[in-house]
Amino acid sequence: MEIAITIGKFLVFPGLLFTTVAGLIACWIDRKITARVQWRKGPPFFQPFYDILKLWGKDTILPKSGNKILFILAPMLGLAGITIVSIILWNVNLFQKSFIGDLIVVAYLLVIPSLAIILGGSASGNPLASQGASREIKLLLAYELPFVLCIALIIIKNAGSFQLTEIVQQSLLNSVSGVIGFIIILLCVQAKLGFVPFDIAEAETELMGGVYIEYSGGLLSIFKIMQAMMLFTLPVLISTLFLGGLVFYGWEILWSIIKIVGILAIIIVVKNTNPRVRIDQAVKFFWRVCGSLALIAVILAIIGKLYAIPWL
């Protein structure tokens, strides 16, 4: 019975099916806001669902010169990683269930989609895909430093707790270090999503899709679903870590939806108002600017804890 419940959570709720549907709705919001920014009408509500179904109806072509096993397994690996993250976050927000160190587990699992992209691009045997995978590796190394510092900031602000059910109980935006951490983690999420200005690995105008150039049919659809799930799950993560989490009863439901949609809107506006940067510019930005600001935020948080100054 317990095995059946676990499988059901992974495949249906709050796992794969639920997060996929929510992610495709987030994709529609993305495309609709993008269209409005560009003075267009935008797609109908069900267009992201139609696009996924259409991909499943197309042939999946495997490259002759690539590693076929890794090529097939890569998108499935990324999908599994983000599904487990979604389950952990929703167990925390809906059922107040977590385990010791789940924050660290989530941070590690969020690396898996990027690793899946790198593996898929490297296994395709295409030089443009390999170039995209190389850029993804550099981008991953760039944004993980400030991202990890933001995780350290959260742990310090919550008296050394690594457990999400304790972290979710307070908002960090009532302090200087919390505001800095919130801004930095938004930028890191922008890079994790592969959105402009950090869509360097895909770079359609330069690399013709980069890491995805050899993918088609069902395998490309799995990558698209993975990206859609991340577009929904990462705003949920930010809400959980910085905004006091999500509550789904009474009028709190509306406030929880506003949190997710608000974070999503910020990400989309940044995406539509900035040009793509070069990989060296991205590395310098994350290491020098974001890394330095994140370190300052950590120092402020430590001082605030030592001298009981809550606004630090």
- As averages over each run of 10 residues, the pLDDT of the chain (312 residues) reads 74 85 96 91 93 91 87 94 94 88 93 94 87 91 95 91 87 91 96 91 69 89 95 96 86 89 94 90 95 96 89 85
* CA distances in angstroms from 82 to 68, 260, 294, listed in the order given: 23, 17, 25
Q: How many CA atoms lie within 13 A of 45 on its CB side?
A: 2
- Assess if residue 136 is contained within a domain: yes
Q: What is the pLDDT of residues 108-117, one digit of tens each?
A: 999 999 999 9
- Assess if residue 289 is contained within a domain: yes
Closest CA to 245 of 171, 312, 189, 296: 171
What is the per-residue pLDDT for 7? 80
What is the per-residue pLDDT for 141? 94
- Assess if residue 54 is contained within a domain: yes
Q: Are 243 and 168 in contact (CB under 8 A)?
A: no
What is the per-residue pLDDT for 5? 75
CA-angle at 243, arms to 227 and 251, nearest 5°: 95
- Assess if residue 175 is contained within a domain: yes
Q: Are 54 and 220 in contact (CB under 8 A)?
A: no
Query: Does an H or E element contain 159, and which?
Result: none
What is the per-residue pLDDT for 207? 61
What is the per-residue pLDDT for 3? 77
What is the per-residue pLDDT for 84? 94
Predicted structure pTM score: 0.94
Per the structure, the complete domain to which residue 118 belongs is given by: 2-306
What is the per-residue pLDDT for 180? 96
| Displacement of CA 15 from its chain's centroid (Å) | 15
What is the per-residue pLDDT for 178? 94
- Assess if residue 251 is contained within a domain: yes
- Assess if residue 311 is contained within a domain: no
Q: How many independent structural domains does the chain possess?
A: 1
- Assess if residue 90 is contained within a domain: yes
Say which amino acid occupies 238: I
Say which amino acid occupies 186: L
